[in-house]
Amino acid sequence: MKIFAGVSCGGCRSDNVKCPIDCHVKTCHKEKKVDFCFQCNEYPCNKQIDERLTARWVEKNDRMKEIGAISYYIE
């Protein structure tokens, strides 16, 4: 839990990732030259994050695809 306490994480797409989960997104978005998974021609793919989080990840990406990233952030 110390890793989450008082640590500033820049998010999955930043160079300042603090998440201990081994996630393909950290490198895949750079390889595919996209900001979000839903922007990739291969979305949804089998390279998703941990199985326990995949459904939530897809749900959030589908919503961003539907309304746009800025509207999703505001929502």
Q: What is the pLDDT of residues 10-48, one digit of tens each?
A: 666 677 766 666 677 778 888 999 988 899 999 888 776
Helical residues (DSSP H) of 20-68, grouped into ranges: 25-32, 51-67
Asked whether the predicted pLDDT for residue 8 surpasses 70, the reply is no
- What is the pLDDT at residue 2? 53
Is residue 52 very low, low, confident or very high in pLDDT (cuts 50, 70, 90)?
confident
Other residues' Cβ atoms within 10 Å of the Cβ of residue 44: 14
- What is the pLDDT at residue 1? 47
pLDDT digits (tens, 9 = 90+) for 56-71: 888 999 999 999 999 9
